[in-house]
């Protein structure tokens, strides 16, 4: 039976480090870090994320400033707000919540944020610094996953790592961070031939594709470490019956509540083959906010 890599516990450790860092600033007579969160429109999932971010900021002493704009906001008005936040000396970090409503160009918005305040690590300058292996603000989810792996003493040097997914938010930066730690990295994706065979070679498998239960137990090399970045809601009982064959509790929740959260990996099957697995929920999910607040403190301290 694999070890459960508890993301919530690690997120709490990371948040405690941030809280102490904020205290050090205050003891020096500096102000608390300021994080501006821009939410355009009414996307329900985004509203939940933003609420969770504000609550986490309050816990660690970071000042969170929310800017809510209507869904029909013009790009020029979003640009103007970002310009104002870039120029505001009380704002250390700026996060524009994604996805933006239709009609708004997210790349244009993300590229407009000052790289020094880009706490998401999505600006091309920060992505370029990561590519070069130089310090910069790095994407929160992969940074926090690296921190989780380091905490659990997972050896990366020389191992075969497979990253399933090629997004700019997770897959690509995760691959670069693993490469920096001397792993031999393969990025696999929806067009990869023999996905199962590629995954089966991985000593470390990172799944970040957003496909519920895609990774079966038979895709996992015995003793591998599995990091499941996917957070999917499954409502279909036929799909649930297939992917939760080894997780009767999930299947039960799906049947009684009409839906259940799960990752990209079939957790029950993975637990029987792997040496360590992140659960969903309670794995990578809580780490993203911890990574964000770590970046907000670093931006305030101008450490990167
Ligand atoms: N929407 C969902 N996740 C994220 C994230 O990490 N950053 C931003 N800006 N938007 C998101």
Enumerate residues lining ligand 1, CB below 6 A: 49, 95-98, 120, 140, 288
Which residue has a Cα nearest atom 2 of ligand 1? 98
User: For residues 171 and 259, what is the distance between their CA atoms, to the nearest angstrom?
Assistant: 27
The residue to mutate among 11, 49, 64, 210, having the most atoms of ligand 1 within 8 angstroms of its beta carbon, is 49
Distance from C-alpha of 86 to C-alpha of 94, rounded to nearest angstrom: 8
| Cα–Cα distance measured from residue 35 to residue 291, given in angstroms and rounded to the nearest whole number | 13
The size of the chain, in residues, is 304
Where would I find the beta strands (DSSP E) of 140-294? Answer: 160-164, 184-188, 204-207, 225-228, 232-234, 260-262, 276-277
Ligand 1 pocket check: which of 52, 127, 169, 295 to mutate, most ligand atoms within 8 Å of Cβ? 169
The Cα-based distances of 37 to 55, 69, 218, 258 in angstroms read 12, 11, 42, 32
Check if 30-114 and 140-285 are the same fold.
Answer: yes
The fraction of the chain above a pLDDT of 70, given in percent, is: 100
What spacing in Å lies between the alpha carbon of 256 and ligand 1's midpoint? 30
**How much is the pLDDT for 233?**
95
Domain ranges of the chain: 30-114, 140-285
Q: Which atom of ligand 1 is nearest to the CA of 98?
A: 10
pLDDT tens digits for range 220-265:
999 999 999 999 999 999 999 999 999 999 999 999 999 999 999 9
Closest alpha carbon to 187 in 197, 120, 176: 176
Taking all residues of the chain, what is their mean pLDDT, rounded to a whole number?
97
Could you tell me the pLDDT band of residue 303, with boundaries at 50, 70 and 90? confident
Nearest Cα residue to atom 3 of ligand 1: 98
Looking from the CA of residue 141, the nearest atom of ligand 1 is 6
Residues with Cβ within 8 Å of residue 5, at least 6 apart in sequence? 148, 152, 225, 227, 276, 277, 278, 279, 283
- Cα of 97 vs centre of ligand 1, distance in Å, is 5
For the CA of 95, the closest atom of ligand 1 is: 9
Question: pLDDT tens digit string along 60-71?
Answer: 999 999 999 999
CATH architecture assignment, domain 140-285: 3-Layer(aba) Sandwich (3.40)
Query: What is the Cα–Cα distance from 268 to 216, expressed in whole angstroms?
Result: 9
Alpha carbon distance 50, 268 (integer Å): 31
What does the pLDDT read at residue 304?
79
Mark 238-258 as b/e (b = at least 16 C-beta within 10 Å): eebeebbbebeebbebbeeee
Percentage of the chain modeled with pLDDT above 90? 99
Q: Distance between CA 235 and CA 224 in Å, rounded?
A: 29
Cα 30 to middle of ligand 1, angstroms: 28
Q: How far apart are CA 133 and CA 94, in angstroms?
A: 23
Class of domain 30-114: alpha beta
Tens of pLDDT, residue by residue over 88-113, are: 999 999 999 999 999 999 999 999 99
Which of 11, 52, 120, 140 has most ligand 1 atoms within 8 Å of CB, for mutation? 120
- Number of C-beta neighbours around residue 5 at 10 A: 25
Active site residues: 53, 97, 120
């Amino acid at each position: 039976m694999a070890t459960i890599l508890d993301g919530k516990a690690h997120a709490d450790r990371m948040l405690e480090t941030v809280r102490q860092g904020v205290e050090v600033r205050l003891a020096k007579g500096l102000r608390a870090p300021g994080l501006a969160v821009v939410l355009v429109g009414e996307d329900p999932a985004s509203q939940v994320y933003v609420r969770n971010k504000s609550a986490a900021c309050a816990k660690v002493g970071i000042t969170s400033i929310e800017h809510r704009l209507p869904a029909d906001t013009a790009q020029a008005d979003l640009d103007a707000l970002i310009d104002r936040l870039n120029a505001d000396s009380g704002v250390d970090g700026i996060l524009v919540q994604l996805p933006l409503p239709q009609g708004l160009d997210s790349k244009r918005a993300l590229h407009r944020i000052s790289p020094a305040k880009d706490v998401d690590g999505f600006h091309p300058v920060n992505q370029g610094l990561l590519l070069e292996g130089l310090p910069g603000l790095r994407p929160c989810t992969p940074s926090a996953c690296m921190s989780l792996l380091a905490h659990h003493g997972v050896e990366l040097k020389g191992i075969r790592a497979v990253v399933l997914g090629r997004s700019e938010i997770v897959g690509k930066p995760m691959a670069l961070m693993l490469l920096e730690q001397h792993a031999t990295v393969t990025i696999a994706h929806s067009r990869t031939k023999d996905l199962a065979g590629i995954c089966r070679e991985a000593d470390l498998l990172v799944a970040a594709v957003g496909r519920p239960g895609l990774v079966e137990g038979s895709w996992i090399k015995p003793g591998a470490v599995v990091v499941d970045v996917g957070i999917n809601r499954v409502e279909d009982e036929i799909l649930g019956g297939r992917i939760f064959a080894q997780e009767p509790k999930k299947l039960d929740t799906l049947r009684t509540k009409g839906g259940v959260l799960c990752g990209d990996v079939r957790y029950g099957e993975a637990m029987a083959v792997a040496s360590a697995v992140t659960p969903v929920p309670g794995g990578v999910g809580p780490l993203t906010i911890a990574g964000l607040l770590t970046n907000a403190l670093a931006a305030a301290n101008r450490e990167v």
